């Protein structure tokens, strides 16, 4: 039986996710419906992607009995209400990252998924790329010895993008870009909570963070540092330094297609899209989609690779970084 997907929102990321799904076998994955806030947007999306059902509200999608899992591609200030809509409708959910605006909202979403006995995963797509699978294998086998330092960065000039700079749209570099660096660090350090976080940054007049530098200290004197910026183009790579060698993820570290282990590079190619993409390497979203299918087939309610505790840890760290940099969203005051 194919895993039957419902797509919530007809925006650019939902387009790319749907294109990525089509790179997987049709007998495994099917998109059966799409919902947008305007019916004409949903209809246009459905026509473009040959989807049989289009809804002009998310509630209609939540009531569709033929959907196994909903992909949520709305902007993150709406993640809480949208996740609750679908989990309360007993729908399995794959929600774009960041899962929510803060740790309190994340806890609310996770509690609802648990209460309704449904699968829920934050769509940290990077974790499921073949490169990330290989990194975890190398670390488990201690190929580079004991890891002592992780460095990562993600910066792109996004000042022209409203959702990057406007507070009410969830703007700010940490939630949009820094999450990729953070998830990489927590993946390498196996979901361990850092002993100490020190953050400093530059904020825009809109009250959101533009460039942030963060240093993290873990147990056994292991360190990590990352930089994220929505104003600057950074090299966008990541490196893991161990006592016996290094693992480097060249640009683009958030959707990587190559890995350099002790100087030796290996390429991991992605399938070609059948329609133009909005974002780089988006067909790589196929790996998280397949993870969702495998979890559902096993009856799991969370992914062991991107677990609920992983999502909560990310949110708690993001909260602390924002606190130190001085970024407060309306959701933090509720």
User: Is pLDDT above 90 for 131?
Assistant: yes
| pLDDT band at 84; cut points 50, 70, 90 | very high
Q: How does the average pLDDT of the chain come out, rounded?
A: 98
Q: What domain count does the chain have?
A: 2
Does residue 150 sit within a domain? yes
What CATH code is carried by the domain that includes residue 156?
3.30.360.10
What is the rounded distance in angstroms from the CA atom of residue 284 to the CA atom of residue 334?
A: 36
Same domain as 143, residue 115: no
Residue 334 confidence (pLDDT)? 85
Domain that holds residue 95: 3-124
Does residue 302 sit within a domain? no
CB 42 within 8 A of CB 56: yes
Same domain as 193, residue 75: no
Mean pLDDT of 225-250: 98
> Which tens digits make up the pLDDT trace of 258-300?
999 999 999 999 999 999 999 999 999 999 999 999 999 999 9
> Backbone phi, then psi, for 39, in 5-degree steps?
-55, -40
Same domain as 202, residue 113: no
> Which tens digits make up the pLDDT trace of 40-69?
999 999 999 999 999 999 999 999 999 999
Q: Report angle CA 34, 58, 1 to the nearest 5 degrees.
A: 45
What CATH code is carried by the domain that includes residue 75?
3.40.50.720
Question: Which of 87, 105, 124 represents a domain boundary (last residue)?
Answer: 124
Same domain as 220, residue 164: yes
In terms of C-beta density within 10 A (0-12 exposed, 13-18 middle, 19 or more buried), how is residue 23 classed? middle
Same domain as 158, residue 46: no
What is the rounded distance in angstroms from the CA atom of residue 40 to the CA atom of residue 10?
A: 10
Does residue 282 sit within a domain? no
What is the rounded distance in angstroms from the CA atom of residue 161 to the CA atom of residue 165?
A: 7
Does residue 290 sit within a domain? no
Beta-bridge partners for 67: none
CA torsion through residues 211, 103, 180, 67, sign: negative
Question: Which of 124, 150, 165 represents a domain boundary (last residue)?
Answer: 124
């Amino acid at each position: 039986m194919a895993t039957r997907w419902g797509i919530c929102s007809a925006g650019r990321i939902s387009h790319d996710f749907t294109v990525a799904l089509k790179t997987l076998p049709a007998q495994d994955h099917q998109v059966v419906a799409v919902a947008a806030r305007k019916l004409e947007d949903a209809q246009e999306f459905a026509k473009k992607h040959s989807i049989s059902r289009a809804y002009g509200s998310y509630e209609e999608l939540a009531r569709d009995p033929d959907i196994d899992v909903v992909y949520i591609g709305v902007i993150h200030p709406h993640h809480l209400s949208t996740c609750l809509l679908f989990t309360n409708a007993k729908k399995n959910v794959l929600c774009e990252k960041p899962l929510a605006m803060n740790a309190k909202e994340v806890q609310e979403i996770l509690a609802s998924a648990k209460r309704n006995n449904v699968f829920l995963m934050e769509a940290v797509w990077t974790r499921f790329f073949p490169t990330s699978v290989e990194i975890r294998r190398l670390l488990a086998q201690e190929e580079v010895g004991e890891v002592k330092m992780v460095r990562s960065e993600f910066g792109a000039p996004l000042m022209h993008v409203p959702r990057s700079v406007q507070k009410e749209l969830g703007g700010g570099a940490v939630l949009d870009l820094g999450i990729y660096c953070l998830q990489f660090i927590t993946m390498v350090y196996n979901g361990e909570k850092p002993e100490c976080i020190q953050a400093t940054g530059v904020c825009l007049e809109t009250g959101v963070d533009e460039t942030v530098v963060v240093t993290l200290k873990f147990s056994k004197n292991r360190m990590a540092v990352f930089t994220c910026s929505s104003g600057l183009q950074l090299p966008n790579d990541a490196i893991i330094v161990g006592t016996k060698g290094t693992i480097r993820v060249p640009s683009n570290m958030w959707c990587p297609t190559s890995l350099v282990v002790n100087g030796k590079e290996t390429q991991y190619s992605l399938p070609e899209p059948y329609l133009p993409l909005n974002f780089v390497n988006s067909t790589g979203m196929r790996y998280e989609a397949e993870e969702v299918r495998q979890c559902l087939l096993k009856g799991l309610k969370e992914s062991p690779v991107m677990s609920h505790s992983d999502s909560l840890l990310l949110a708690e760290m993001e909260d602390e970084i924002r606190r130190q940099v001085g970024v407060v969203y309306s959701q933090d005051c509720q």
